[in-house]
Amino acid sequence: MTGKEISMIDLWVELRTDRLILRKIDFEDIDFILKHFGDEEVCKYMVDNEPITTMEGAKDIINWSHSDKSNPSNNRWLIILKESNKPIGTIGYHRWDRTNNIAEIGYDLSKSYWKQGLMSEALKKVIEFGFSKMSLNRIQAFVHVENAASYNILRKNGFYAEGIIRDMYYFRGKYHDHYFMSLLLKDYIGYKNTNN
């Protein structure tokens, strides 16, 4: 199956790991989305937008996470902790280029759940989905140069830092540099074979 042929049902399949459930974000999640994306700590390195403060802002995020069915470019999962059935973050793809089989990955996690290996667990599952179900050849990410945790989690999962994009965003009175990182299918296969 190519990226052009994947159906929306396939795109929104629920994913599971040992500790997590990843499912489509819905409007029933609006209270979590408002609180989560309104948290300055969660949004510290998301320098393309201010933290949200209104229900309208939360609705915009949910609408953004739901792609146009005729041409999906975004798919974002809500990360739920199995033991409590509590939402703790989001993860997914955006800017999906189905001609060239490239997508950008992004993720965020509520502060109470940092440094527990949860995002790495979710990331592994979503990377696997990207290569096996979306037929991606390249997954890329932009990481703020001061966001060591995000940089390290991507490196641990096989991503290469291709360089630094200087002054990528202007936010709150200054420019922000970002690492440009990527994982190719051939590197992922090699990484999996080495780390299994």
Q: What's the CATH number where 183 sits? A: 3.40.630.30
- Is residue 101 in a domain? yes
Q: In the chain, where does DSSP find H-type helix?
A: 8-11, 30-36, 55-65, 118-132, 148-156, 185-195
- Is residue 68 in a domain? yes
pLDDT in tens, 69-107: 555 678 899 999 999 999 999 999 999 998 999 999 999
In the chain, how many domains are there?
Answer: 1
User: Band of the pLDDT at 51, cuts 50, 70, 90?
Assistant: confident
pLDDT at residue 40 is higher than 70: yes
Residues facing 105 on adjacent strands = 93
- Per cent of the chain over pLDDT 70 is 90
pLDDT in tens, 18-28: 999 999 999 99
- Is residue 3 in a domain? no
Q: Which domain holds residue 41?
A: 8-195
- Is residue 2 in a domain? no
pLDDT in tens, 149-158: 999 999 999 9
Kindly report the average pLDDT of the chain as a whole number.
89
